[in-house]
Amino acid sequence: MPALAVGLLAAFLPAAPAVANDVGKCGMYAIGHRGDHTNYDENTVRAITALSHSETDLRVTKDGQFVLMHDRNVRRTTNGDGYVDELSWDYIRSLRTEPRGDRVPTWRRALRAIKRSGTMLSVEVKSYGATWTRQELRQAVRLVRQMGLRNRVFLGGTAGAMPVLEEVAADMQLYWRPKRRDRVSAATVSAHNAAAVLIHPRNLDKRVVRRAKRGGAVVWARRSKKPKELTIQQYWSRIASSRAKGLYTDTPYTFDRWCG
């Protein structure tokens, strides 16, 4: 292939992630909330593949296309308007994300991109009970299998998604987001077939992490506001002291530098 063609092709392929895959000296790694949305538009291919660990959100259009989008309405993040589940893929594909003018990625395109970049992806299935069918969720899971990404994609969700995922994605890596009243134990982790447990920092301590580990899961700290009396570094240090492995954060580069 001519050198110019190679250069042009490389410009459109995801670069190697900028945040290291290895756990830092603090014992944790950052999971970029909606990807690297500081340098790229959130939940775009560039945003999720800029990091070694990213979180994203999966929705389904009215005609059954799977797309990355946090909000049900596309208004905040694109130049369009309307609920994803009431819009056609033809309409959504015509939109541009804001403020940088990227495209809304399909699930297939996102999976292809992380296969090239090596990114580990945590995926929240959004609004399952209101907008998805069981068959659509089964199809979304099947794409992960077909692309050989079962070890790189973690699936989770609310609004009734977890029981269905536990059935249709039993061979996948699932993450469980317990409610405040739920007890995290080896038994409950196993019952949810969870490879990871996403816990609010206020509920984190070494005992919780040990119990999750006995159930075969790692623990991630949810994104949350820090207590006013703590600096962000003190807050991160408190979370790291629990022995959790991952942290959902909007500032993955800052965390990576702090963690070392």
The whole-number average pLDDT for the span 235-241 is 97
Local structure of residue 195 (DSSP, 8 states) = E
In Å, what is the CA distance from 52 to each residue of 24, 33, 67, 107, 192?
Answer: 12, 12, 21, 18, 26
Residues 193 and 170: beta-carbon distance below 8 Å: yes
Q: Does the global pTM surpass 0.85?
A: yes
What is the distance between the alpha carbons of residues 57 and 44, in angstroms, rounded to a whole number? 11
Please name each of the domains of the chain with its CATH number.
16-59+105-259 (3.20.20.190)
147-184 residue pLDDT tens: 999 999 999 987 689 999 999 999 999 999 998 889 99
175-200 residue pLDDT tens: 999 988 899 999 999 999 999 999 99
Among the listed residues 28, 19, 67, the one whose alpha carbon sits nearest the alpha carbon of residue 45 = 67
50-101 residue pLDDT tens: 999 999 999 999 999 999 999 999 999 999 999 999 999 999 999 999 999 9
- For β-strands 66-68 and 53-60, DSSP reports them as antiparallel
Q: Look at phi and psi of residue 17 and say left if phi exceeds 0, alpha if psi is from -120 to 50, else beta.
A: beta
Token digits of residue 16: 């190697």
